[in-house]
Structure 1
Amino acid sequence: MNFILRSISFIFHPVVMPLLGVIFYFSKSPRYLPLELMQAKVVSLFILTILLPILLYYLLKSLGKTSSIYLQSTQERIFPLILNAIITVLILIRVLPSNEIIELYYFFVGILISTLSCLILAILKFKASIHMMAVSGVFMFYLALSIHFSININGTLALMAILIGAIATSRLHVKAHTYPELITGLFIGLVPQLILVNYWL
């Protein structure tokens, strides 16, 4: 059980969540999008949201700015969150501008707001759960898409709700967060996506 709970935190690391949201969108959207366009977006986002953050993490680790991929202290979180915000801005400008796929544009605007909120809290010495922020943001995006496209994804939403609970349990098990930190992370992820729904739903 200990291995499973620790594995959940690793497998569903926050860096993979934005790409899961994009892949889900492409798999469920009834709009026609050229296959080449979707492939280009997915590859670009894989590089920017997964590979680049991993490379930057090792750079920060070599510079002594962080000691763990889980960013255990508030001080360790500041530089990675700043870099992640910059990467998200780059995605919004170059990969998913507002005139192409508006749903994904606002999805990443929500990610940017959540990241900046988490950064501000880290500067204030409060360690909101980035894991919870990421998974709850994706959950809210899935829910909005089900309404937007009038599709039944109850099974997916149920699995996402279970995943949120599993990640929360995992973070508590490894003593990475307290209940207030998990709840704060949950709301930091949910609320921006919920507010931004007004601009595209």
Structure 2
Amino acid sequence: MKKILSFFSYVFHPMFISVYAVLLYFFLTDRYHSYQELFLIMIQIIILTILIPISMFYFLMTLGKANSLMLSEITQRKIPLAINAFLLYILITQSIREEVIPELYFFFFGALASTIITFLLIFVNLKASIHMIGISSITIFIIGFSLHTQVNHIYLVATFLLLTGIVATSRLSMKAHDGKELIAGFLVGVLPQIGLLSFWL
């Protein structure tokens, strides 16, 4: 059971949430987008949210500033979170513009807000679960999309609500977080997304 739960921690690692959100957008939207547009956006997302962060992690590991992609130590989070905030800022200012794809723009704007809040929480010695931030934010995104398109995606919403619980259980099982850190991560992921829903619904 522990191996199964840890599998969900890796599949829903925060670095992959951006890719899932973009794929879900193109799958659920009723607006027309060409395959070329999807390809270009996916390439940019993969570079900015996966390839560059992974390269950064390995660089920090060679310097002894990180021990794994999970960033188990709170002191190891400052540099990765600062860089991630910068990359998200580039994404919403240079790639995914509000006037082009407002749904994704505000999703990533919320992700930027969550990243900044998580960075600030380090200074009060609170290690909010980044896994919970990722899975809870994409769950709110899907709920918002159901309201936006007026299409009932109840099964998809229910699936991601279930996955939120599984990821939380996984992080507890791996002893990566305690209950307070999971709740903090959930709130940091949910609140910015809820606060921005009114801008694109």
Q: Same fold (TM over 0.5)?
A: yes
Match of 2:18 in 1: 18
Offset from partner CA, 1:10-67 (integer Å, 9 cap, x none): 1210100011011100111101112211111011111211111111110111111111
Q: Please tell me whether the aligned partners of residues 74 and 123 of structure 1 are also in contact (alpha carbons under 8 angstroms).
A: no
Task: Tell me the secondary structure at the aligned position of residue 32 of structure 1.
Answer: coil
Bigger drift between 5-14 and 137-146 goes to 5-14
Q: TM-score, normalised by structure 1?
A: 0.97
How many residues end up aligned between the 2 structures? Answer: 201
Where structure 2 has 5 or more consecutive residues not aligned to the other structure, the ranges are none
Aligned Cα RMSD in Å? 0.9
Offset from partner CA, 1:100-123 (integer Å, 9 cap, x none): 111111110000000000000112
One-letter amino acid matched to 2:185: G
Q: Please tell me whether the aligned partners of residues 144 and 197 of structure 1 are also in contact (alpha carbons under 8 angstroms).
A: yes
Match of 2:38 in 1: 38
Task: Tell me the secondary structure at the aligned position of residue 198 of structure 2.
Answer: helix
Match of 1:195 in 2: 195
Task: Tell me the secondary structure at the aligned position of residue 199 of structure 1.
Answer: coil
Match of 1:29 in 2: 29
Q: Please tell me whether the aligned partners of residues 118 and 128 of structure 1 are also in contact (alpha carbons under 8 angstroms).
A: yes
Bigger drift between 187-196 and 59-68 goes to 59-68
Offset from partner CA, 1:137-162 (integer Å, 9 cap, x none): 00000000010001121111111011
> Is residue 2:178 matched to residue 1:174?
no
Q: How does 1:27-176 map to 2 (within 5 A)?
A: 27-176=27-176
* Distance in 2 between residues matched to 1:111 and 1:13, nearest whole Å: 14
One-letter amino acid matched to 2:30: P
* Distance in 2 between residues matched to 1:72 and 1:104, nearest whole Å: 29
Measured after TM superposition, the shift of residue 198 of structure 1 is 1.2
Measured after TM superposition, the shift of residue 99 of structure 1 is 1.9
Measured after TM superposition, the shift of residue 2 of structure 1 is 1.7
One-letter amino acid matched to 1:133: I
Following TM superposition, where does structure 1 have runs of at least 4 consecutive aligned residues deviating by more than 2 angstroms?
none
Q: Please tell me whether the aligned partners of residues 78 and 123 of structure 1 are also in contact (alpha carbons under 8 angstroms).
A: no
Sequence identity (%): 37
Match of 2:9 in 1: 9
Task: Tell me the secondary structure at the aligned position of residue 32 of structure 2.
Answer: coil
* Distance in 2 between residues matched to 1:123 and 1:99, nearest whole Å: 36
Q: Please tell me whether the aligned partners of residues 127 and 181 of structure 1 are also in contact (alpha carbons under 8 angstroms).
A: yes
One-letter amino acid matched to 1:22: V
One-letter amino acid matched to 1:96: I
Task: Tell me the secondary structure at the aligned position of residue 24 of structure 2.
Answer: helix
